[in-house]
Copies of this chain bind each other. A is one copy, B any other.
């Protein structure tokens, strides 16, 4: 390869660190007057938005942020949050978006572990942030994000966000990454076991995933008007703030993810795209306004998390939304697979099409390699739609690793594959379908029972609004499935456990029928996820108490 490697080196003219933050400069130049951000009555053009991001970066530098310092933010999807996606990296800082549902102790852990220097705090979270900072005893510079809609007027910091940004010194030079492997963001996992882990994102992965999502979600053609239903603290909103900068789309901010607010935004701003967990689809179906009219062009919903139940998919599609089901994880910069629609599905009946649409599918264009395999041998499972294997990825979407946790990083990246811990089957067409988390599978009498399969069946029951199936200990079978069911308001007290069990018997093999049914509201995380490990512990308590009661009465 001599001749092709001689006097043909990288230089400024042919090599630049990949980074999504340069997309901002381009949209400010190309679409200066196009609307970039909408929040209530406020509107910023791309020129204004870019200017605000630059000012935030400069102000942070003046406030003492050095390359590689952590800058945290706790806020819903308001303009400051959208601006932080660029402003913080432009200061050389690493952006840590904190989950707004966390308690003070969990936030304190994150602030300490990440060695946060500066924290932006939306007033809605002033109290919990104040408590968390007090617990750490650290000197953190706090910038308040004031908003009359925050429901709280407390100010805990040194300066308000608008004043901080307005006071930026234009003479300060912004900082672009010196290397595309530099950290751009830090996202803590929800910590299903032990303390949360800090996932470090790199500029290269963020850039590539931002481009990949444009292709997956078809953000070209019409100018995307993107509604921020997906929290930005979740994998930096799957990198979509960066994608939108690459195509000059419009961010529609949203403080609260409620059906009414979503429908208002769709109507008022002609929303074209949003991302969410399946739970949001349920909200939308149940909160559909009487005046709802099917839009001319379907509104594209990119939906991740557990496979949405077929019944829900069907209803939402009939309402004029098109659902792109995707799958991914914090450790892979967000989304790594999509359920790529095939032309041949058009020939299927509606229900069969919905079955296809609910699968996690295939890797995205920028997901280099995926395998569903036996973890010990890495042998791929057959495309039989039956054999469970662990989903693994490798390629440029992999995180840098877990911050200050080499052991966890090594475990996650064992043998050069990122181990998701998710179990899937591969269908004949090569599409994967997640069946369970490794730890969520229910092993009853030696048989594997998929909690997702049971949930899918239960969602077809008209009274069911939400459901989680978990394993509870059983003397005879080892584990048995227990269904925690949230009923629709109008069905409260109108349906019995026996009825639900009978319903399941008509649809499931006997060993799969939930042995226990509990009617109660379901606790969800900020991103609408059910934390199975918590629900499992809770269900075990409930069932133990029930058994004790039965014994007593006997």
Q: What is the distance, in angstroms, from A216's C-beta to the closest C-beta of chain B? A: 9
Flag whether A14 is at the interface (Cβ < 8 A).
yes
Which B residues lie within 8 Å of A212 (CB)? 211
Q: Which of B8, B183, B366 contacts A409, CB < 8 Å?
A: B8
Asked whether any CB of chain B lies closer than 8 Å to the CB of A527, the reply is no
Stretch at the interface among A23-31, A80-88, A287-295: A23-31
CB contact under 8 A between A13 and B68, given known A362-B30, A365-B26:
no
A215 adjacent to B214 (CB under 8 Å):
yes
- CB-CB under 8 A for A416 and B205, given A182-B4, A211-B365, A365-B23: no
Q: Of B183, B220, B409, which one neighbours A215 at CB under 8 angstroms?
A: B220
| Inter-subunit contact B94/A12 (CB<8 Å) | no
Q: Is A430 an interface residue (CB 8 A)?
A: yes
Q: With an 8 A cutoff between CB atoms, is A493 at the interface?
A: no
- Chain B residues with Cβ below 8 Å from A13 are 393-394, 398, 412-413, 416-418
| Secondary structure class of chain A's binding surface, majority of residues | loop
Stretch at the interface among A51-59, A166-174, A400-408: A400-408
A43 to chain B, nearest CB (A): 15
Query: Is A340's CB within 8 Å of the partner chain B?
Result: yes
Tell me if A4 and B200 are in contact (CB < 8 A).
yes
> What distance in Å separates the Cβ of A189 from its nearest Cβ neighbour in chain B?
16
Our pick among B3, B215, B342, B418 for the contact of A246 (Cβ within 8 Å) is B215
Give A7 to B9 CA distance when docked, in angstroms: 29
Residues of B within 8 A of A68 (CB): 1-5
Interchain nearest-CB distance for A369 vs B (Å): 8
Measured between beta carbons, the chain B residues less than 8 angstroms from A400 are 4, 8-9, 14
B-chain residues with CB within 8 Å of residue A401 when the two chains form the complex: 7-9, 14
Interchain CB contact under 8 A, B34 and A343: yes
**A interface size (C-beta, 8 A):** 75
B1 engages A413 (CB within 8 Å): no
Residues of B within 8 A of A218 (CB): 220-221
What is the CA–CA distance of A412 and B6 in the complex, to the nearest angstrom?
16
- B15 x A398 contact (CB < 8 A): yes
For window 330-388 of chain A, which residues contact chain B by CB distance below 8 Å?
A: 340, 342-344, 362-363, 365-366, 368-369
Query: Looking at A215, A393, A417, which has the most chain B CB atoms within 10 Å of its CB?
Result: A215
Given A14-B413, A26-B365, A223-B183 contact (CB < 8 Å):
no
- Which one of A12, A13, A211, A413 has the highest number of Cβ atoms from chain B below 10 Å of its Cβ? A13
CA distance A29 to B370 in the complex (A): 11
In contact, B7 and A406 (Cβ under 8 angstroms): yes
Q: Is A18 an interface residue (CB 8 A)?
A: yes
Contacting residues, chain B, for A183 (C-beta < 8 A): 1, 4-5, 8
Query: Do residues B3 and A247 form an inter-chain contact, with CB atoms below 8 A?
Result: no
Distance (Å) between the CB of A207 and the closest chain B CB?
A: 9
Q: Which residues of B contact A394 (CB under 8 A)?
A: 12-14, 16
A283 contacts chain B at the CB level, 8 A cutoff? no
Tell me, yes or no, whether A473 is within 8 Å of chain B by CB.
no
Instruction: List B contacts of A10 (CB < 8 A).
Output: 181
Min Cβ gap A272→B in Å is: 12
In the complex, are the beta carbons of A430 and B30 less than 8 A apart? yes
Across the interface, name the chain B residue whose C-beta is closest to A361. Answer: B30
* CB < 8 Å neighbour of A362 from B22, B29, B366: B29
Task: Closest B residue to A2 by CB, please name it.
Answer: B68
Cα distance A23–B366 in the bound complex, in angstroms: 9
Chain B residues with CB under 8 Å of A220's CB are 214-215, 218, 220-221
What 8 A-B pairs have minimum CB-CB distances, sorted nearest first?
A14-B398, A12-B416, A1-B68, A7-B406, A8-B400, A4-B183, A13-B413, A8-B401
**Can you list 24 contacts pairing A with B, beta carbon distance less than 8 Å?**
A1-B182, A3-B403, A3-B404, A5-B68, A5-B183, A6-B404, A7-B409, A11-B413, A12-B394, A12-B416, A12-B417, A13-B398, A13-B412, A13-B418, A22-B368, A26-B363, A30-B340, A30-B362, A33-B344, A211-B211, A211-B215, A211-B365, A215-B215, A246-B365
Binding site for B on A (CB under 8 A): 1-16, 18, 22-23, 26, 29-34, 67-68, 94, 115, 181-183, 200, 202, 205, 211-212, 214-215, 218, 220-221, 223, 246-247, 340, 342-344, 362-363, 365-366, 368-369, 393-401, 403-404, 406, 409, 412-413, 416-418, 430
